[in-house]
Structure 1
């Protein structure tokens, strides 16, 4: 069972996939298959539930990682300087774009068994020390599986600029806490939870552990691919979402939606049987017929569920379109309209904005694609391509 990061306190996770994979013959190691998932997808599936935002550090063409549905950030220093360059990129991105974050957790993209309580234990291990907390097992230290305080960005950049490359040397210079992890037991065998894959034979040796993992288990770490449509009040979000749903569903794809309401709403009516169940105190009421299923959850003073919690309750879909939630860490289309309540742009302040839709000329796109508000087929094409969904030719 996955352990959510309930006490993580603003942790950004980063999968490090920026290496050259020389011992794999130069192939993109993070995208090699282990069972029905890529190595990066295995890591993402374990790390995503533990953090508040998951990103991926990689260089080159970002589109090759589109099926993961993660924001991809390259090294901020050229020259393929090793994992510390990826750590620096994650620290600098988080400081610039994730207000309230307290630290970054990193994991290599080739460690498919990372513990499902990695984040909680590193956070607890670090405490209030301000030191780097890294994982250690019987095999030895694993300093790339670590919690990095954000104020390390400047000393890390200086270390790299001075020619430093060794992760453990930098960690020890800055102050360290080694957090011990016991071996994991998988398929009746003991295995180091931080075992990594460097050579083709390593990949083959781990295949038996994934013999029972089916294709249905091999989706993206957050389930179905997700994209948002965000904008200010009266910008036309609902109209655009409805038209996109019709367009994408018309192509034979399954579309789910999430709509955030800023007001009280009710989908039931006084006097119905289900209304009486709710009024009697039921926490959840399921209405089922041959045509429709609806599950109503009464919060009764509990906090509004997170978007991740809502997405986790949805059934399988080819794509989920989220209306609203403009502050959420999901890729999104920004919609602008002359009649909107505000004309403050979301892009470029939000690096997750992937494109802009507008009913007027846009002069501040900063390289983002811009679509006319009625160009629904083209917007749908962009969305499906961006989240890595492709319709087979008939």
Structure 2
């Protein structure tokens, strides 16, 4: 029997912090821009515990979902979106498995997930680190920590991407 072709594992890195206004999204935007400058294909996954709506009431895809469709997709020459109804919050690995064709996946909002984490820590917002040091591959902060975890400045997206290249073998591409 022929062996099935297996997709290479895509590294998944979670950007975490102790609550809203910690700077997670701001740091992630910087990391994405640096990764794209290096030619990486980047996927992101945002976890929203409150639920979300991408469809606008009255639009065709919204009407399809209201009529009972379990999966609604919309496609244009520029992008594709697929919305799937699920009975409960899906495990991180289940959602990540749906993302293909990228060099790295960054998650935001999966504090308790089982993926390597970069914690964003701002002294004006936080009192202590949210994660245990063994969960972290790095810290991005305006302070330095005496831990055996690399600590980067909040603006050092290049340093963080250098670390990811070293840890996961992500190769820069010619752009």
The TM-score normalised by the length of structure 2 is 0.90
Whole-Å separation in 2 of the counterparts to 1:309 and 1:350: 26
1:180-195 map, 5 Å: 187=1
Name 2:74's counterpart in structure 1: 287
In structure 2, which of residues 7, 13, 30 is the aligned counterpart of residue 227 of structure 1?
Answer: 13
Contact 1:226 1:387 (8 Å CA) reproduced: no
- Structure 1 outlier segments of 4+, above 6 Å: none
Structure 2 SS opposite 1:309: helix
**Which runs of no fewer than 5 residues in structure 1 stay unpaired?**
1-186, 188-208
Between Structure 1 and Structure 2, how many residues are aligned? 174
What root-mean-square deviation, in Å, do the aligned CA atoms of Structure 1 and Structure 2 show? Answer: 1.9
Name 2:161's counterpart in structure 1: 380
Note the C-alpha offset of 1:346. 3.2
1:368 and 2:153 correspond:
no
1:75-224 map, 5 Å: 187=1, 214=5, 217-220=6-9, 224=10
Note the C-alpha offset of 1:218. 4.9
**Which runs of no fewer than 5 residues in structure 2 stay unpaired?**
none
The TM-score normalised by the length of structure 1 is 0.42
Structure 1 SS opposite 2:96: helix
TM-superposition CA deviations, 1:263-298 (whole Å, max 9, x none) = 231111011010100111111100111111000112
Whole-Å separation in 2 of the counterparts to 1:277 and 1:377: 43
Which has the greater radius of gyration?
1
In structure 2, which of residues 55, 59, 64 is the aligned counterpart of residue 268 of structure 1?
Answer: 55
Q: Which has the higher contact order (CA 8 A, sep 6+)?
A: 2
Whole-Å separation in 2 of the counterparts to 1:219 and 1:265: 31
1:354 and 2:137 correspond:
yes
TM-superposition CA deviations, 1:80-120 (whole Å, max 9, x none) = xxxxxxxxxxxxxxxxxxxxxxxxxxxxxxxxxxxxxxxxx
Greater fraction of residues in helix: 1
